[in-house]
């Protein structure tokens, strides 16, 4: 990880009483999406990207180096969503693709749950949709 990376917490308007949990992750013809729930919550939040450039998932227990530099709220808790600037992941992607046009304005997002850290590179911001968990059983 580059020490010049900066992390900005982003607003996350999902009312959950406890920690977030990742219920599932899917990448298919409908796009890349994952679902968060709060423990015992009756609503799930789907986070989706129509055309992500790249994504990766890592167990939060193995995300220690990045967690050590992420800003926290006044109580010392992590935020649920961050945007990364001067991103090492984006630099890696650009090198693999032999460069990407500046006009694409690619953004790097990090999503944190109790057990998972999901990173996404995308031109478009995430789309948030509350869904009924009964429809996915």
Inform me whether the pLDDT recorded for 40 exceeds 80. Answer: no
Residue 112 pLDDT: 93
pLDDT in tens, 48-73: 999 999 999 999 888 888 888 999 98
Listing from the earlier edge strand, what are the strands of the sheet with 107-112?
6-9, 81-85, 107-112, 116-122, 54-59
Inform me whether the pLDDT recorded for 96 exceeds 70. Answer: yes
Inform me whether the pLDDT recorded for 84 exceeds 70. Answer: yes
Higher-scoring residue by pLDDT: 31, 40 = 31
In-domain check, residue 105: yes
Inform me whether the pLDDT recorded for 137 exceeds 70. Answer: no
Number of domains in the chain: 1
Q: How many CB atoms lie within 10 A of CB 72?
A: 11
Q: Tokens 């600037």 — which residue?
A: 85
In-domain check, residue 1: no
Identify which of 30-39, 62-71, 107-116 has the greatest average pLDDT: 107-116
Confidence of residue 101 (pLDDT cuts 50, 70, 90): confident
Residue 43 pLDDT: 79
Pick from 42, 44, 43: which is nearest to 33 by CA? 44
In-domain check, residue 12: yes
In-domain check, residue 112: yes
Residue 17 pLDDT: 58
Domain limits for position 79: 6-136
Confidence of residue 14 (pLDDT cuts 50, 70, 90): confident
Helices (H) and strands (E) in the chain, counts: 2, 9
Residue 98's SS3 state is coil
Residue 2 pLDDT: 46
Residue 38: phi and psi, rounded to 5, are -95, 150
């Amino acid at each position: 990880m580059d020490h010049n990376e900066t992390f900005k917490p982003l607003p996350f308007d999902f009312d959950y009483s406890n920690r977030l949990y990742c219920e599932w992750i899917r990448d298919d013809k409908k796009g890349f999406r994952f679902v968060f729930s709060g423990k015992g919550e009756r609503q799930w939040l789907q986070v989706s990207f129509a055309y992500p450039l790249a994504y990766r998932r890592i167990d939060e227990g193995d995300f220690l180096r990045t967690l050590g530099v992420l800003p926290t709220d006044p109580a010392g808790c992590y935020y649920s969503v961050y945007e990364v600037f001067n991103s090492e992941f984006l630099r890696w992607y650009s090198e693999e693709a032999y460069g990407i046009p500046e006009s694409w304005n690619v953004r790097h997002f990090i999503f944190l749950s109790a057990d998972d850290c999901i990173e996404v590179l995308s031109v478009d911001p995430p789309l948030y949709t509350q869904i009924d968990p009964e429809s996915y059983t």
